[in-house]
Amino acid sequence: MITIEGKSVFGGVSIGKLMFYKRNEKVIRRTHVDDVDAEWKRFEEAKNTAIDQLKVLYDKAIEDVGEANAMIFEIHQMMLDDLDYLESIEGIIRTQSVNAEYAVSTTADNFAQMFASMDDAYMQGRAADVKDVSERVLDILCGVSNGTREMTEPCIVAADDLAPSETVQLDKEKVLGFATMYGSSNSHTAILARTMNIPAVIGMGEALNPKYDGEMAIIDGFTGTLYVDPDEETLAKMQEKRAKDLEQKELLNQLKGKENVTKSGQKINVYANIGNVSDLGAVLKNDAGGVGLFRSEFLYLENSTYPTEEQQFAAYKQVVESMAGKKVIIRTLDIGADKQVDYFNLAKEENPALGYRAIRICLTRPEIFKTQLRALYRASVYGNLSIMFPMIISVKEVRKIKEIIEEVKAELREEGLPFKEDVELGIMIETPASVMMSRELAKEVDFFSVGTNDLTQYTLAIDRQNLALDEFYDPHHPAVLAMIKMAADNAHAEGKWIGICGELGADLELTEEFLKMGLDELSVSPAMVLPLRKKIRECE
C-alpha cells in the first residue's frame, strides 16, 4: 500500500480505480516560413476555431457547474482577443519568419511567466489560464484533439493539475473524486469538486506517479490522504468511514423543515450566500431561511460593459420573487481588490486589498451606484429585499449613501415607477474601523453583517491571498472574535440585528461561541445550511 498526503479541498471518501488524465502529445518545433501573411492567417483561423469551442464549453459548464463557474470560458474567449497577446504572436511570426505554433508557444510561456511573477494573487491565477487557452490553439494548429480518454467505469481522476476546459469535458457521472499533483484551494479542480460534492485532494507532488494508473485507490477527503493499492484493513476502515458519511448526509436531509433552535430554545436565522441567480436552486434545496448575501458583482464580472438598470432589475426581481417572501440581502457591488473588471479602468495598485474598491468606487462614481440602486429599489416591490453596503469605515459614508438613495427615490417617484419606501438598509462589518464605530453606525442602519474574511485579514494585517502566510493566518484569533463580540453588543444596544456572512459563519467549532454572543443570523454556502442547523440543534 502506498500512502500519499496532500491537501483536502472537499471531504468524503471515494473508492475506485485511478485514471490518469492523458493529454495528446505534441512537439512544438521552430520552423522557417516564407509567407508570413499566410502563417498569420493560419493562426487567426485556429484562434477563431478555439473561440467557437470555448462557446460550446461555456454552455456545457453552465449546466454542470452554474453560471459563476462557467464564466472562466468567457474570460478565455476574451484572452484570445487580447491585443497584447495577439501583437506578441504576430510580432514573432513576422519579425522572425517562423511558424504559428512556435509563436503561440513562446508567447504563452512569456505571458505565463509574467503573470506568475506578479504580486497579485488574482493575476498569478491568470498564468494557468493563458497556458490553457494557448494549448487549445496549439492543439488546433497541430491537428490533435485536446486529450482525455473514455471513462468506461466510475474512477478517481488523477492528473498533474486540470485546466477548466479539461474538468468540464469529463463524464461527471463517472468521476468519483480528484487527485492532483499541484493546484490550490481556488483552482478550477477544487471549485468543481465542491460544486459536484465529491472528494478531492490536491498538492500531492511527484509522489502521485502515473505508474499507478489503473490501480485501486481510496481518497480520504477528510484528511487529504490518497491510498494506492490499499491493504484489507485500510479498505475496511475506509468503507466504514464512507458508510458513516453517507448516513450523516441522510440524517441531515431529515433536518429539512426543522427550526434552527438550541435545546434551551434560543433561535437563530440560517441563511445562504449566493453569487448568482443560478444558485437559487441550491438555496431552496437546502432549506435556507433566506439569502443572507447575494454578491451582485457577478453581474459586473460577467458583462463586457456596465450592466444596465434593466439587466440588474431582472436579476434582482428573479431572486426576490423566487424566495417567495423570505429575506434576500443584496450587497451592492464589491469590485476591486481580487475582483478586477477591465471596463472599470481601475489603476494598478500596489496593495489593492487596501485600495480603491467596493463602496469607495460607488461613492466616487455615483452614476454607476445610482443605476444599481434604481434597479434594487424597483425590485423591492416583488419580495422581501434588503440592501447591504460593503467596506464601510465611517458614519459620513453611510449618510452620503442615504443622500444618494433619496435622490434615487425622488427620480423613481417622478417617473411613476413603484418601489418600497422602507427597504431595510445594512452595512458590512469588515474593517476594524467599522467595529470601533459600530455603536454610532448602528444608529444609522437597520442591521450589520460581519464579513469575517476581510475582518480577519485587516485585523491580523495578513493578506489572505498570500499562501506563504497560511501558518500565521488564524480566523479563530481572539482579536477577531473580540471584534465580532463588540460589533454584536453595539448593534443590540441600538436595537439592531447582526449576522455573519463570511467563512466563519460555517465554522461549526465556533457555532456555540456565536450563539453565546447573541448573533441573530448566520449566512453560509447552501451546502452548509443543514450541517449548521444540526449543530445549532445540538447546542445547549
* 331 known member of a binding site: yes
Distance CA 334, CA 497 (A): 22
Closest CA to 246 of 448, 421, 13: 13
The one catalytic residue among 76, 155, 362, 501: 501
* 384 known member of a binding site: no
Residue 258, SS3 per DSSP: coil
Nine-digit cell at 17?
480505480
Closest CA to 423 of 383, 381, 386: 386
Distance CA 421, CA 371 (A): 17
Closest CA to 79 of 146, 136, 145, 139: 136
Closest CA to 539 of 502, 503, 514, 506: 514
Distances in Å between the Cα of 174 and the Cα atoms of 149, 230, 383 are 12, 21, 40
The one catalytic residue among 188, 362, 476, 539: 188
Helix 100-116 and helix 83-96: axis angle, to 10°?
A: 140
* 464 known member of a binding site: yes
Return the number of other C-beta atoms located less than 10 Å from residue 32's C-beta: 8
Return the biggest CA–CA distance within the chain. Answer: 83
Task: Compute the C-alpha angle 258/260/265, nearest 5°.
Answer: 110
* 149 known member of a binding site: no
Distance CA 124, CA 116 (A): 5
* 242 known member of a binding site: no
H-assigned helices in 97-181: 100-116, 121-142, 164-168
* 533 known member of a binding site: no
**362 classed as catalytic:** no
Long-range contacts of 34-38 (CB under 8 A, 24+ apart): 34/97, 36/93, 36/94, 36/97
Nine-digit cell at 11?
471531504
**188 classed as catalytic:** yes
Provide Rg for the chain, Cα atoms: 25
Q: 47 burial class (0-12, 13-18, 19+ CB within 10 angstroms)?
A: buried
Q: 305 burial class (0-12, 13-18, 19+ CB within 10 angstroms)?
A: exposed
Nine-digit cell at 92?
514573432
Binding site for phosphoenolpyruvate, by residue number, is 295, 331, 453-454, 464
Binding site for Mg(2+), by residue number, is 430, 454
Binding site, by residue number, is 295, 331, 430, 453-454, 464
Catalytic residue annotation: 188, 501
